[in-house]
Structure 1
Amino acid sequence: MKDFFLSTNRIGFSLWNEDDYDEAMELWANPNVTKYIVASGKMSEEQVLERLHKEIDVFNKFKVQYWPIYLLETGEAIGCCGLRPYDLENNILELGVHVKERFWGNGLAIEACKAVMEYAFSTLNVSALFAGHNPNNTISSKLLKKLGFQYLRDEFYPPTNLNHPSYLLKKQDYDKNNIAY
C-alpha cells in the first residue's frame, strides 16, 4: 500500500518513484488519455519513461509534481494530479490532471484538483495557479471554469504544437467553499 501525503474522501496522493513504471505505462501509454497531451496523440514507451523521470526530477528540485493518485477504497491507481513550476519569480505554479479513462465522469478529476488547489494556496502559499488545455479538449475547459479559473490568453504549448487556452486563478480570488461541482 502506498503512503499518502494528501487525501480526500476518495483519493490518496503519493509520489512517483522508479518502481512506478507499470502505473506510468498504464496512464501515459493510453492514447485516450494522451490524445490532447502530445502532438502525436500517443506516447511511446520511451516518452512515458521520460515523463516518469521528469516528474521525479521536478519533485527533487521543486517539491511538487503531477502526483500519482489512488482510490482509497481499493488502492487502485487512477491517474495523476498536481503541480509543476510555471512562473517561479511570481510564485505561480501550474495545475494539471490526467485520469485513466475508466474513471472519467465520476467527479474524481474535480475532487483531485480541489485538493491540489487547497494544498497550493494553504500549504505552499502560492500567489496564483496557471492551467491550460488543448483547444480540442472541451472537458478540461469546463473543469477549469468550474474550478474558478479565469481565461488569460492562448499560449503556445510545444508538446502539442498548438496554442492552448490558458487560465489563471489568483489566491485572492480562490474560494474553496464556492467552487461549482
Structure 2
Amino acid sequence: MMRQYFLQTARLGFSQWTEEDGELAVSLWGDPEVTTYISATGAFTELQVQERLSKEIRQEQQYNVQYWPLFELESGEFVGCCGLQPYQLDKGIYELGFHLKRTKWGKGYASEAAEATIAHAFAKLKANQLFAGHNPENQGSKKLLQKLGFTYTHDEYYPATGLQHPSYLYHNHTSQG
C-alpha cells in the first residue's frame, strides 16, 4: 500500500493509522520487548493491540493527533510510531510519545521523529507546552527526553503500568512564556 505522508524528516515519513493497519499494529504493540515499559503485564493481547489501533484512529478524528505510524522514506519499511495525544487541552498541552519496532532501535529514529513532532505541535497545533512521561525503568526514554529539552517536573501515576512515571514538560523555546 502506498502511504501518504503529511510530515517528513530526512529519513522518515509520518502517515495516519487506518483500520487496515492491523498487521502493522501487531508487529509493533504485539512485541513484548516493545510493550514491556507501557503495559502492566509487559505485553498486549491481540485484542489490546486492536483497541490501541482504534484509539489512535479515534484520537485523529477527534483531536487531529495520534501516535502516527512512521515509515522509512527509502525502503517504505514500517519503523513504529511517534506523535501526540491530548493531555491538558484546556491549557494547550499535548503528550508526546513514541514506540519503535525492536529492529529500529539505536538508529536515531526516535529522536528524529520526536523533533519533527515537537515542531509540528507548536507550528501547526499551536501547542503551549508538551508533556511526556516514561516508565521509571526505561532509561533510554529518560535520556532522549532530556536530550530533546524536556524538563522533569514530577512523578505521575500511569494506569496502564500501575507505576509512578517520571514526567516532564517541554516549553516552546521560540515564543514567550
TM-score by length of 2: 0.97
Question: How far, CA to CA, are the matches of 1:126 and 1:42 in structure 2?
Answer: 32
Structure 1: which 5+ residue stretches go unaligned? 175-181
Corresponding residue number in structure 2 for 1:135? 136
Q: Could you list the per-position Cα deviations for residues 92-137 of structure 1 after superposition, in whole angstroms to 9, with x for gaps in the alignment?
A: 0000000001111010000000000000011111000000000000
Q: Could you list the per-position Cα deviations for residues 115-161 of structure 1 after superposition, in whole angstroms to 9, with x for gaps in the alignment?
A: 00000011111000000000000000000000000001000000000
Equivalent pairs counted in the alignment come to: 174
Corresponding residue number in structure 1 for 2:158? 157
User: What is the SS of the residue equivalent to 2:170?
Assistant: strand
- Deviation, 1:173, is 6.7
Question: How far, CA to CA, are the matches of 1:33 and 1:3 in structure 2?
Answer: 25
Q: CA RMSD in A?
A: 0.9
User: What is the SS of the residue equivalent to 1:39?
Assistant: coil
**1:73 correspondence with 2:74:** yes
User: How is 1:110-121 mapped onto 2 (pairs within 5 angstroms)?
Assistant: 110-121=111-122
Corresponding residue number in structure 1 for 2:124? 123
Question: How far, CA to CA, are the matches of 2:117 and 2:147 in structure 1?
Answer: 15
**1:49 correspondence with 2:40:** no
TM-score by length of 1: 0.95
Corresponding residue number in structure 1 for 2:59? 58
Question: How far, CA to CA, are the matches of 1:140 and 1:172 in structure 2?
Answer: 21
Corresponding residue number in structure 2 for 1:32? 33
Question: How far, CA to CA, are the matches of 1:125 and 1:89 in structure 2?
Answer: 12
Question: How far, CA to CA, are the matches of 2:105 and 2:140 in structure 1?
Answer: 10
Corresponding residue number in structure 2 for 1:172? 173
